[in-house]
Amino acid sequence: MASKAQRFETRQHMNKNTFEIFRYKDAYLKEVALHHHDFYEVYFFLSGNVQYNIESRSYLLTPGDVLLISPMELHQPMFGAEQKTYERIVLWIDKQFLEGFSLPGQSFTACFDTKAPGHTNLLRPEGVARQLLTYMLEQLMAENASDDPYQEIAALSYLAQVLIALNRLSQQNQRQNTITTKDSSVYSVLGYINEHYSEDLTLDYLANQFFISKFHLSREFQRLVGTSVHRYIIQKRLVMAKQMLSEGKPSSEVYQHCGFGDYSNFYRAFKAEYQITPKDYALLVKQSAYREDLLPRHLLERREK
C-alpha cells in the first residue's frame, strides 16, 4: 500500500543526523530556487512535467527515474508549461552517517561519486528493478513512521537495501546524452563556469567565449537555469568556498581560490547567502558538537542566549 503524501516543506537542512524520507504530491508548485545542501539526496520521480537541472546537466524526467544528488551540487527542478500532478519520494541521508554506514570496500557513497568514470545523476530502473526499489522505499517510509520497538533496526535494514540497489544500478548505468533542449549552449556555459569558477568571469566574457549574443545568453540562461549568470557564478563560488572552509582551509586562501578578488566581497557574499561570517563558520566547523547543515540556526540560537 502506497504511503500517504506529506505537506511539502521548503527547508533545505536536516533535522536528524541519520536520514529523512518524504513523499510529496502537489497539484501545483511554484518555481523552486536553485540550491544546494550538505547531505546526500535520492530523488524518486513518480509523476509530473519536470526537467531537472543539476550543475551543468539537464534531465527530462519520466516516472520511475531516480536522481542521485551529492552534497554541494547545485540543483533545481524546472516545471513545464503544462501543469501535471507533481509527485516524488525524496530521501535525505546525512553525509557522515552514510560514510560510516558503509563497509570497507563496499561504500554506499559510490553511486554518488561525481568523479567516477561514466558518472551520471540519472538512473532509469525498469521492470522488476523499478518495482523492487519502489517497494523498498515504501517499506522504508512505513518503518520510519512506525512506533514498533524494532522500528529503528527495520528502517536501517530497508535503507541498506535501497542503497545496495542504487549502487548496483549505478554500476550498470551507461553514460548517455541527457541534454534535452535545442539550445545546448547554455549547458556548455554552465560546464565552463563549473570548471573555471575561480577565474574572472563576466557575462561579456562568456558570451565572447562561446560566440553568442550576451542578450541571448542572459535570457536563455534565466529561462533554463532559473537564475542569472552572475548569480549562478556567485553560488558556485560560495559552494566551493564552504567546502574549503569545512576542510580547514584559511579564509585568505579560500577567497582567492574561489575568484572573489578581495576578502570584503567574499565576506559580504558568504554572509548574505548563509547568514554567518566565514570566520564564524570555520570556527563552528571545528567544534565537536556541530551539525554543518544547521549552522545558521545554531549561530542564531547562540546569539539569542
Closest residue by Cα to residue 133 from 43, 223, 218: 43
244: which residues sit within 8 A by CB, 6+ positions away? 253, 254, 257, 258
Percentage of the chain modeled with pLDDT above 90: 50
The whole-model pTM stands at 0.74
Longest dimension (CA), the chain: 63
Per-residue pLDDT tens digits for 235-254: 899 988 988 888 888 998 99
65: which residues sit within 8 A by CB, 6+ positions away? 44, 45, 59, 122, 123, 124
Closest residue by Cα to residue 99 from 166, 155, 17: 17
Report the 10 Å Cβ neighbour count for 75: 20
Whose grid coordinates read 568556498?
241
The amino acid occupying position 5 is A
Domains in the chain, start-ordered, CATH in brackets? 19-172 (2.60.120.280), 185-304 (1.10.10.60)
Per-residue pLDDT tens digits for 21-74: 999 998 877 778 888 888 999 999 999 999 999 988 889 999 999 999 999 899
Closest residue by Cα to residue 301 from 272, 269, 276: 276
Please give the torsion angle defined by the CA atoms of residues 92, 95, 100 and 104, in that order, rounded to the nearest 10 degrees: 100
Q: CA 111 → CA 23, 32, 125, 245, distances in Å?
A: 22, 25, 14, 25
Give pLDDT tens digits along the chain (305 positions): 466 666 677 677 889 999 999 999 988 777 788 888 889 999 999 999 999 999 888 899 999 999 999 998 999 998 877 778 899 999 999 999 998 888 777 889 999 998 888 788 999 998 899 999 999 999 999 999 999 999 999 999 999 999 999 999 998 874 443 444 445 688 889 889 988 999 999 999 999 999 999 999 999 888 877 789 999 999 899 988 988 888 888 998 999 999 998 999 999 999 988 888 999 888 877 763 344 444 444 343 333 32
